[in-house]
């Protein structure tokens, strides 16, 4: 059993008003973000959303036009990358092809003039941490993609960085390896108590790994919060659409009835539980596919729709149903083990519904 | 209908024959110099009436030839060092930089390859005459470096484009500055390019005549010495010097083939 | 008096930080940039200034109206054109052949091209003097075989200069053409063959258009380098064949007429740049 090496504590990261433009293109427009010590925060967004630029600003590869970057109490905004004490993991591993595994991992220590015996000890410990003991003398080209990324991981932690940055580190790996490495990264991060900022466009990965997710769009953070919150209560239409599948309808809020409101959207009157939303404005209603229930004939529901099954796709234990009700489309995901579901075929007419509490309203 | 295979084969042979003829034309003049350099005759004679090393002996015994060879070796070495440092840094700037005017810088770097050497020669001569740099090895090194930079930049740019910028970023994030990243990571990875660029730069200076005609003064380079001799008389000593130069080229190309970057795409 | 630094200044943040960021690469290019500006751009611009010294264009007027210099310009262009044409005729098939042969054969072929390319122009020109001279190899052989009584004047004429220059420049043509040819997709040729095109049609309609950018690049290179040639005409032309570079050298070294030499240089430079620009224009739309 390998014990975690004693290490300096991780540091919090604080970004204040970070702005960066390339010519006329605003890559990042005024981002504030605080990552607590030991926290794992994901920057999630499509390409061009500014997440990679933001990471490069933190790493020191891009100088921001405005704003400051603090790691712990130190303002590192103008500090070169090598002095920021950041462990970074790159998409294509970025292992030095002309150095052995051991020399790759030793690199950050030898440039810090650590004593030779200590380098040997710490490299061995760091490689053991990713279960690559005995691979010291191999060259990167002699390793598999997964092994290379594990070497890169151990190189990024061996020098006790205050902060770890991961730039789409699983992008080049196949699905199975990706899952293994995701677990490894999370395990390592928890065990060493690393402050980590992780960049990805893969929402599943973000939901799986993060303490908090920052959803980025057009150079700004649209929403930040724990995965369950981002998933259940997205604050913007973009966040709702980008994370998980969702049924979205927009329209004016026409009536209020106690805690519920009615939204006239797409020719339907949707009931939603939203004590705080005022009548008269407009809103977008979101219903996650797994919240859409298959209704028996007389079963009561706040919202009912009759629809035809257009398409069925198999997802494993669940199936996804694409339903058409007039011109409206909606998606439902049902568990195959639930009684009546298995017998539904394409072309069948079904009645579906959902409760007002399962409708999440996004203002505007 | 495709053509008859017989005709195809005939065409193929004709092509091979033609190519062999042209390549022979390219090589033959260089090969002809070899027997002449070993001739025992006092004047040009082909085929030589007998064999001797007298022309090589004369080359090695003549202080003018030896001195000019040493001047050329020193100038070429200095040029290689200076052009390699300046050109590699410039290539790095062009390949990795994102600043405005990068295209202009790139064009400027290839300029000395396009501007006729006679123009560069008199342009530099005009300045160096005022600075009293004519007739000095330093002046020759500076002028030859202008001519050598384009070779270094083009070879090193190609080499640098094969190195993933993420490797440098990784090195920088792990604790070194940009220079440290270049020295520890980039340069070791482009060593073949450095070999090729050095040899190109060295030969470009070692072979250079036009600039040397103006700048040499009394500090004659080997090509300048050869040029002066050819104008006076064609004695076989020049053949001996030529063979030595050809041998240098063959060795240099062998080094490039073994350790250098691919100069020709394949 | 002592100067105290602000305490919160991060250590060595100035140049080091900028080197780490996006401006770093520019800074690295700066020494070479300054070097080229001082020793290449500056001196050439100085020639431009010299050429209009006295505030008039008299030197240029002389260059483009005096029959003597017009003849030299015409001769220079004519030689460059002949050398370029000869390089195309000799080099194109060789470049193609190199793409069809085995690696070993190609390596031998490249050796035959690269060794002359890297060998001093002086050595190569000297070799042609040995071959074509009054007592050169050819005259010697012809006399020994009893075909001639007096040596033929093979040197100091247009053909000898053209032969010498073509020998020097041919490798510079073959390499760019070859590099375009190796990228041509063989499947295209096979497809054309399968569609029933004859060998001639495949060449004219498919292969030549595809390799034309290489011919243009190589041809342009040969032409502009030929325009500025000095050594080969000086040695093989023997004073009878004079190219523009020889005139420039003479003006500087013998006549010390810097103004006129500068004007001639600017005309030569302008011609070179114009051809270069025209060539890249032609090339651009073809991608």
Q: Which residues of B touch A107 (CB under 8 A)?
A: 171, 174-175, 184
Name the pLDDT band for A18 (thresholds 50, 70, 90): very high
Entry pTM = 0.85
Is residue C206 domain-resident? yes
Query: What is the reported pLDDT for A2?
Result: 43
Q: Could you tell me which residues come within 8 angstroms of residue C58 by beta carbon, excluding any fewer than 6 positions away? A: none
Instruction: Please tell me the distance in Å from B201's CA to the nearest CA on chain A.
Output: 26
Instruction: Report how far apart, in Å, the C-alpha atoms of B63 and of each of B66, B71, B226, B234, C223 are.
Output: 5, 12, 14, 19, 39
The CA distance from B135 to B129, in Å, is: 9
Mean pLDDT, rounded, for A55-71? 94
Across the B:C interface, residue pairs with CB atoms under 8 Å apart total 279
H helices of chain B, in order, are: 5-37, 54-61, 63-96, 102-114, 117-131, 137-160, 165-173, 178-181, 187-189, 191-206, 210-215, 222-232, 236-259
Beta-carbon-side half-sphere exposure of residue A250 (alpha carbons within 13 Å): 8
> Given pLDDT bands bounded at 50, 70 and 90, which one contains residue B91?
very high
When pLDDT is averaged across residues B154-171 and rounded to a whole number, the result is 94
Query: Which residues of chain B make contact with C109, given a CB cutoff of 8 A?
Result: 19, 23
Domain B55-259: homologous superfamily in CATH: MetI-like (1.10.3720.10)
Q: How far apart are CA A1 and CA A173, in angstroms?
A: 28
CATH 3.60.10.10 fits A13-239, yes or no: no
Give B194-209 pLDDT, tens digit per residue: 999 999 999 999 999 9
List the subunits that have 3+ CB pairs under 8 angstroms with B.
Answer: A, C
Q: Which long-range contacts (CB under 8 A, 24 or more apart) does C250-257 make?
A: C252/B122, C252/B125, C252/B214, C253/B214
Range of the domain at C190: 48-286
* Interface contact B254, partner C, CB < 8 A: no
Average per-residue pLDDT in chain A?
89
Which chain A residue lies closest to B185 (C-alpha atoms)? A96
| Fold for the domain defined by A245-363 | OB fold (Dihydrolipoamide Acetyltransferase, E2P) (2.40.50)
**Residue C108 domain-assigned (yes or no):** yes
Looking at residue B264, what is its pLDDT? 45
- The pLDDT, as a whole number, for residue C283 is 64
Percent of all residues in chain A with a pLDDT value above 70, rounded to a whole number: 96
Beta bridge partners of A264: A269
Judged against a pLDDT cut of 70, whether residue C6 lies above it is answered with no
Residue B59, both tokens: 């080359």
Characterize C203-229 residue by residue with b for buried, 16 or more Cβ atoms within 10 angstroms of its Cβ, and e for exposed: beebbeebbbbbbbbbbbbbbbbbbbb
Question: How many domains does one find in chain C?
Answer: 1
* Interface membership of B162 toward A (CB under 8 Å): no
Q: Is the peptide bond before A164 cis (omega within 30 degrees of 0)?
A: no
Distance between alpha carbon C166 and the CA centroid of its chain, in Å?
A: 11
Quick: pLDDT tens for A117-153: 999 999 999 999 898 988 999 999 999 988 999 999 9
**Pairing assessment for the beta strands A212-217 and A86-89 based on DSSP bridges:** unpaired
H or E stretch covering A75: strand A74-75
Q: How far apart are CA B185 and CA B204, in angstroms?
A: 29
Listed ranges A5-19, A182-196, A248-262, B113-127; the one with the highest mean pLDDT: B113-127
Would you place residue A194 in the very low, low, confident or very high pLDDT band (cuts 50, 70, 90)?
Answer: very high
Q: Are A105 and A154 in contact (CB under 8 A)?
A: yes
Residue C30 resides in a domain = no
Looking at mean pLDDT, say which of A55-69, A347-361, B30-44, C145-159 comes out highest: A55-69
- Half-sphere exposure of residue C124: CA atoms within 13 angstroms, side-chain side: 30
Instruction: Give which of B4, B48, B118 to mutate to test C binding, by max C Cβ within 10 Å.
Output: B118
CA distance B62 to chain C (A): 19
Q: Which backbone phi and psi does A32 adopt, to 5 degrees?
A: -115, 135
With bands split at pLDDT 50, 70 and 90, how would you rate the model's confidence at B252? very high
Neighbours of chain A (3+ CB pairs under 8 A): B, C
Per-residue pLDDT at C21 exceeds 50: no
Residue bearing tokens 């420039």: C248
Report yes or no on C3 lying in a domain: no
pLDDT confidence of residue B24: 95
CA distances from B243 to B36, B225, B251, C136 (A): 10, 15, 12, 18
Is residue C22 in a domain? Answer: no
The answer to the question of residue C29 being in a domain is no
CA dihedral over A216, A222, A228, A233, signed as positive or negative: negative
Q: Cα A264 to chain center, whole Å?
A: 33
* Chain C CB contacts of A76 below 8 Å: 10
Share the mean pLDDT of chain B.
91
Strand bridging mode A247-257 / A260-265: antiparallel
Chain C from 7 to 66: CB within 8 A of any A CB: 8, 10-11, 13, 16-22
Average pLDDT over residues C71-89: 96
Which of the two residues, B213 and C282, has the higher pLDDT score? B213
What ipTM was assigned to the predicted interfaces of this complex?
0.91
Q: Rounded distance, CA A49 to CA A168, Å?
A: 14
Does residue C287 surpass a pLDDT of 60? no
> What are the structure tokens assigned to A9, written together?
């504590």
Flag whether pLDDT at A24 surpasses 80. Answer: yes
Contacts of B80-84 spanning 24+ positions with Cβ under 8 A: B80/B148, B80/B198, B80/B201, B80/B202, B80/B205, B82/B141, B82/B142, B82/B145, B83/B144, B83/B145, B83/B148, B83/B149, B83/B151, B83/B152, B83/B201, B84/B152, B84/B194, B84/B197, B84/B198, B84/B201
Q: What is the pLDDT of residue A314?
A: 84
* Predicted pLDDT at B42: 78
Region A82-106: what's the mean pLDDT?
A: 94
The domain that holds C258 is classified in CATH as 1.10.3720.10
Q: Where are the domains of chain A?
A: 13-239, 245-363
d(CA A319, CA A218): 33
- C141 in contact with A, Cβ within 8 Å: no
Pick the range with the lowest mean pLDDT from A153-167, A266-280, C118-132: A266-280
Higher per-residue pLDDT: A364 or C112:
C112
Per-residue pLDDT, C12: 38
Distance from C-alpha of A364 to C-alpha of A251, rounded to nearest angstrom: 9
- Percent of chain B scored above 70 by pLDDT? 96
- Residue C10 in domain: no
Cβ pair A81:B167 closer than 8 A: no
pLDDT value of position C11: 35
- What does the pLDDT look like over C203-227, one tens digit per residue? 888 888 889 999 999 999 999 999 9
């Amino acid at each position: 059993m390998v014990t975690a090496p004693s290490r300096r504590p991780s540091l919090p990261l604080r970004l204040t008003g970070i702005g960066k433009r390339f010519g006329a293109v605003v890559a990042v427009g005024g981002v504030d973000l605080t990552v607590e010590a030991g926290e794992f925060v994901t920057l999630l967004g499509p390409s061009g959303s500014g997440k990679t630029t933001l990471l490069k600003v933190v790493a020191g590869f891009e100088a921001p036009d405005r704003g400051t970057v603090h790691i712990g109490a130190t303002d590192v905004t103008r500090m070169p990358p090598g002095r920021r004490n950041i462990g970074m993991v790159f998409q294509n591993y970025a292992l030095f092809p002309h150095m052995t595994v051991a020399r790759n991992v030793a690199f950050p220590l030898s440039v810090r003039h650590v004593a030779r015996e200590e380098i040997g000890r710490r490299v061995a410990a760091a490689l053991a941490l990713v279960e690559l003991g005995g691979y010291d003398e191999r060259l990167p080209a002699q390793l598999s993609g997964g092994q290379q990324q594990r070497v890169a991981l151990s190189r990024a932690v061996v020098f006790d960085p205050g902060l770890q940055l991961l730039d789409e580190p699983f992008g080049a790996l196949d699905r199975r390896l990706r899952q293994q490495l995701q677990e490894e990264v999370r395990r390592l991060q928890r065990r060493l108590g690393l402050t980590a900022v992780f960049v990805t466009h893969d929402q599943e990965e973000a939901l799986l790994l993060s303490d908090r997710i920052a959803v980025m769009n057009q150079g700004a953070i649209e929403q930040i919060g724990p995965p369950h919150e981002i998933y259940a209560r997205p604050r913007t239409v973009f966040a709702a659409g980008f994370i998980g599948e969702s049924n979205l309808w927009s329209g004016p809020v026409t009536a209020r009835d106690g805690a519920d409101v009615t939204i006239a959207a797409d020719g339907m009157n949707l009931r939603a539980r939203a004590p705080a939303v005022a009548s008269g404005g407009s809103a977008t209603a979101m219903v996650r596919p797994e919240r859409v229930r298959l209704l028996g004939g007389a079963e009561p529901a706040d919202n009912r729709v009759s629809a035809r099954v257009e398409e069925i796709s198999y997802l494993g234990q669940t199936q996804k149903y694409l339903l058409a009700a007039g011109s409206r489309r909606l998606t439902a995901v049902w568990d195959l083990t639930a009684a009546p579901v298995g017998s539904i075929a394409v072309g069948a007419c079904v009645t579906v519904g959902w409760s007002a509490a399962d409708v999440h309203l996004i203002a505007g | 209908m495709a053509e008859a295979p017989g005709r195809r084969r005939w065409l193929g042979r004709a092509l091979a024959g033609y190519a062999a003829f042209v390549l022979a034309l390219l090589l033959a003049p260089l090969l002809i110099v070899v027997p002449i350099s070993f001739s025992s005759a006092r004047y040009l004679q082909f085929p030589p009436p007998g064999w001797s090393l007298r022309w090589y002996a004369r080359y090695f015994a003549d202080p003018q030839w030896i001195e000019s060879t040493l001047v050329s070796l020193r100038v070429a070495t200095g040029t290689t060092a200076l052009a390699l440092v300046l050109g590699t840094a410039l290539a790095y700037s062009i390949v990795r930089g994102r600043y405005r005017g990068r295209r202009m810088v790139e064009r400027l770097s290839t300029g000395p390859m396009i501007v006729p050497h006679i123009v560069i020669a008199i342009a530099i001569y005009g300045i160096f005459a005022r600075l009293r740099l004519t007739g000095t090895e330093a002046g020759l090194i500076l002028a030859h470096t202008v001519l050598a930079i384009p070779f270094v930049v083009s070879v090193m740019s190609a080499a640098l484009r094969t190195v993933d910028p993420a490797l440098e970023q990784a090195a920088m994030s792990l604790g070194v500055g940009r220079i440290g990243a270049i020295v520890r990571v980039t340069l070791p990875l482009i060593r073949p390019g450095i070999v090729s660029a050095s040899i190109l730069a060295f030969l470009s200076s070692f072979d250079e005549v036009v600039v040397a005609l103006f700048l040499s003064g009394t500090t004659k380079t080997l090509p300048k010495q050869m040029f002066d001799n050819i104008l006076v008389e064609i004695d076989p000593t020049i053949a001996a010097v030529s063979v030595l130069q050809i041998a240098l080229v063959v060795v240099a190309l062998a080094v490039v083939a073994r350790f250098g970057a691919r100069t020709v795409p394949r | 008096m002592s100067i105290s630094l602000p305490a919160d200044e991060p250590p060595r943040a100035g140049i080091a930080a900028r080197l780490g960021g996006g401006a770093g690469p520019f800074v690295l290019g700066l020494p070479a940039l300054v070097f080229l500006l001082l020793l290449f751009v500056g001196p050439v611009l100085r020639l431009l200034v010299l050429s209009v010294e006295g505030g008039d264009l008299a030197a240029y007027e002389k260059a483009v109206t005096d029959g003597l210099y017009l003849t030299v310009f015409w001769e220079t262009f004519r030689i460059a054109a002949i050398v370029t044409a000869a390089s195309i005729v000799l080099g194109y098939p060789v470049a193609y052949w190199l793409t069809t042969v085995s690696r070993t054969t190609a390596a031998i072929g490249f050796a035959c091209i690269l060794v002359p390319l890297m060998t001093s122009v002086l050595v190569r020109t000297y070799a042609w003097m040995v071959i074509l001279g009054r007592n050169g190899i050819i005259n010697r052989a012809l006399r020994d075989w009893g075909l001639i009584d007096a040596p033929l004047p093979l040197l100091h004429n247009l053909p000898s200069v053209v032969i010498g220059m073509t020998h020097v420049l041919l490798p510079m043509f073959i390499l760019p053409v070859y590099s375009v040819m190796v990228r041509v997709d063989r499947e295209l040729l096979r497809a054309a063959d399968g569609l029933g095109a004859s060998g001639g049609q495949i060449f004219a309609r498919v292969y030549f258009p595809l390799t034309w950018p290489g011919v243009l690049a190589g041809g342009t290179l040969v032409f502009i380098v030929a325009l500025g040639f000095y050594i080969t005409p000086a040695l093989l032309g023997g004073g009878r064949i004079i190219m523009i570079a020889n005139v420039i050298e003479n003006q500087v070294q013998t006549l010390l007429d810097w103004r006129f030499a500068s004007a001639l240089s600017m005309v030569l430079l302008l011609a070179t740049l114009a051809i270069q620009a025209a060539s890249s224009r032609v090339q651009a739309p073809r991608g």
